[in-house]
Chain A
């Protein structure tokens, strides 16, 4: 077949080229090419075991310790206070289990918010099965924890309070400095999961009275496989992994130096661009939220209107099911996520949405659009153009179309 014809046919049968719009930065971020370049350049020199005494090992160790200092610098911590782990999930597990087990003689009570990430919720449930006691605080309809409630929940045997810095689904930013202050006054440890805020919102562990903090590389354009737990000096925790005694015995495992190096470089970049970037993203976010609420009937904002992550938009739509919405968006080239039961492995709606007072049927219709470093105004415009059609279409084939 002549080449020319071939090209013609190809043009006809190939699917229409869709835009590729990634609006799921809260789930995972692409690695920043600047970071990728730096990591690739150093890969040959950081392969060795950082525990080895030979020069190869020491070269890796040097990169590791510099990375530790870089990460510590971002949150005003001492490098000694940073334990590198493999994921934010691991850090949160280590924080909760590590503190509760190390302080068994002080008490058995743990306080958490009801909108924590699954790794905190599940770790707490596991701790309960081990004989610890867990109090779940309440949140208001915006997802905010009331610091006074934290104070009221603290008992003589309370060891740890864990409240996330910002929620991954609805984006609400918690008053962690106030909670930290209360915990410090009452002599209780305070842990915050900052996976969604590290490198995005300024954090000062000293000023905010934070005892333990979780941060992750893959949420800030570093590679996966690196995260950290800040543990304030003097605080005792029990390790989960036993072995070669890496990370001051707190996390045995050959240290993933390349990933940690990418974490540190990504952290420094994020820190440098934080002020400008968060302003830019907040403007895009507000445009996105306002556009959706204005153009689509039966749309409601989840989370706080102002105390929210710069890149987070979370809306629920009446009489629209989330999984269908996500797949329709994907068919239109847009990547997003939902808290619908139908899209979850457990077939249960998001515990966060239920905690802020949504009914199950309302949570089914939730949509999270999370913006990030490469989000552009034209992408927001495209979503605002496509989304109303998708919502109308799904309502059209449902028994509830007459409502709109």
Chain B
């Protein structure tokens, strides 16, 4: 006879156990982000977002060739200032991109990041765009430094990101400069 398992009792509400509007996966990433920090000698850096909007993501990548001779993201780290979703999406994209070929990584879209996190509140979806943008910018930076031709899709992405950046930078000149200064101290 099959014995049905006793259903576990619902855990009592403990302060701090609530996840607000976020999935438990988002909270896990937020509590213990993966791959945060700086790569000392990166092959590419992607900087997106700004302090005025409340989220700044910096993504560092190290590129190497795999056994098949394909260029892959060997190491990836992030530094993020922002809300829970900004930190979680940063952490998630490092998980997705690590070990991935550059071509594939440049095409990671927001939905992959959202799926990785088991969903995001609608109002926070822009954070996933930001994470994807940061990685695309890092790869763009790598290609530029290597003086390589830029894939068409990546170039288009870069143009859009740059355009958005210019709008904000013009509006908040003093602060965007301060960001750089502080970081370079």
Residues of chain A whose beta carbon lies under 8 Å from any beta carbon of chain B:
14-15, 17-21, 319-324, 327, 330-333, 335, 340-343, 345, 347, 349, 359-361, 364, 394, 396-403
**Alpha-carbon gap, A360 to B55, bound state (A):** 12
Q: List A contacts of B182 (CB < 8 A).
A: 319, 400, 402-403
Interface, chain B (partner A; CB < 8 A): 11, 14-18, 20, 30-31, 33, 36-37, 47, 51-56, 58, 78-87, 123, 175, 179, 182-185
Q: Which residues of B contact A399 (CB under 8 A)?
A: 47, 56, 58, 79-81, 179, 183
Return A74 CB to nearest CB of chain B, in Å: 33
Q: Is the CB of B79 within 8 A of A342?
A: no
Looking at chain B's contact residues, is the secondary structure mostly helix, strand, loop, or mixed?
mixed
CB neighbours of A327 from chain B (8 A) = 20, 30, 84
**Once the chains bind, are B52 and A323 in contact (CB under 8 Å)?**
no
Distance, CA A345 to CA B36, complexed state (A): 28
CA distance A378 to B16 in the complex (A): 19
Which of these, A332, A364, A396, A402, contacts B183 with CB under 8 Å? A402
Residue of A nearest to B18 (CB): A330
C-alpha gap A324/B54 in the complex (Å): 11
| CB-based contact A321/B83 at 8 Å | yes
Interface centre among A321, A359, A396, A401 (most CB of B within 10 A): A321
How close is A390's CB to chain B, nearest CB, in angstroms? 12
Residues of B within 8 A of A345 (CB): 123
Closest to B178 in A: A361
Asked if B58 contacts A18 (CB within 8 A), the reply is no
Known: A323-B84, A331-B16. A398 touches B52 (CB 8 A): no
The answer to whether A397 touches B52 (Cβ under 8 A) is no
Contact check, B30 vs A324: say whether CB atoms are below 8 A apart. yes
Given contacts A18-B15, A330-B20, A335-B15, 16 further A-B contacts (CB under 8 A): A14-B11, A320-B81, A323-B83, A330-B18, A331-B31, A341-B53, A349-B54, A360-B54, A361-B175, A364-B51, A398-B79, A399-B47, A400-B56, A400-B183, A402-B183, A403-B182
Distance in angstroms between the alpha carbons of A331 and B22 in the assembled complex? 13
In the complex, number of A-B residue pairs with CB atoms less than 8 Å apart: 102
Q: Which residues of A contact B78 (CB under 8 A)?
A: 397
Q: A321-B54, A399-B56 are in contact. Are A17 and B30 (CB under 8 A)?
A: no
9 contacts between A and B (CB under 8 A): A18-B16, A319-B51, A360-B53, A360-B54, A364-B54, A396-B36, A397-B33, A400-B183, A401-B79
List chain B residues, Cβ under 8 A from A360.
52-54
Closest to B184 in A: A402
CB of B59 to closest CB in A, whole Å: 10
- Please, which residue of chain A has its CB at the minimum distance from the CB of B33? A397
Closest to A360 in B: B52
Partner of B81, one of A18, A19, A321: A321
Contacts of A332 in B (CB 8 A): 16
Least CB distance from B117 to A in Å reads: 15
Q: How many Å lie between the Cα of A347 and that of B52 in the bound state? A: 12
Q: In the complex the two chains form, what is the Cα distance from A401 to B84 in whole Å? A: 18
Minimum-distance CB pairs A-B, first 10: A398-B81, A342-B83, A361-B51, A323-B83, A399-B79, A20-B15, A364-B54, A399-B58, A403-B182, A397-B36
CA distance A213 to B79 in the complex (A): 49
A324 vs B83: C-alpha distance when bound (angstroms): 5
Chain A residues with Cβ below 8 Å from B31 are: 331
- Cα-based distance from A357 to B80 in the complex (angstroms): 26
Find chain A residues with CB under 8 A from B80 CB.
397-399
How far is it, in angstroms, between the C-alpha of A202 and the C-alpha of B11 when the chains are bound? 44
Known pairs A364-B54, A400-B182, A403-B182; A330 contacts B15 (CB<8 A) = yes
Q: Which residues of A contact B11 (CB under 8 A)?
A: 14
Chain B: minimal CB distance from A360 (Å): 5
Shortest CB–CB separation between residue B184 and chain A, in angstroms? 8
Q: Complex formed: what's the CA distance from A137 to B11 in Å?
A: 51
Q: Of B16, B18, B82, which is within 8 A of A321 by CB?
A: B82
A106 to chain B, nearest CB (A): 42
Which residue on B lies nearest to A345, using beta carbons?
B123
Minimum distance in angstroms from A343 CB to a CB of chain B: 7
Find out whether the CB atom of B15 lies under 8 angstroms from the CB atom of A340. no
> Which among A20, A360, A394, A399 has the highest number of chain B CB atoms within 10 Å?
A399
Minimal beta-carbon separation of A354 from chain B (angstroms)? 12
Known: A321-B55, A359-B175. A17 touches B14 (CB 8 A): yes
Determine if B14 and A15 form an interchain contact, defined as CB atoms under 8 angstroms apart: yes
Cα–Cα, bound, A21→B183 (Å): 35
Residue of A nearest to B181 (CB): A403
Question: With A and B bound together, what is the CA distance between A303 and B54 in angstroms?
Answer: 22
Residues in A with CB closer than 8 Å to B37 are 397
Contact of A18 among B14, B30, B33, B47 (CB under 8 A): B14
Contact in complex: B16, A330 (CB < 8 Å): yes
Question: Are B56 and A398 closer than 8 Å at their CB atoms?
Answer: yes
Name the residue of chain B whose CB is nearest to the CB of A21: B15
Residue of A nearest to B54 (CB): A364
Which residue in chain B gives the minimum CB-CB distance to A403?
Answer: B182
Tell me whether A402 and B185 are in contact (CB under 8 A).
yes
The reply to whether B183 and A333 form a contact with Cβ atoms under 8 Å apart is: no
Q: Knowing A327-B20, A333-B15 touch, does A340 contact B183 (C-beta < 8 A)?
A: no
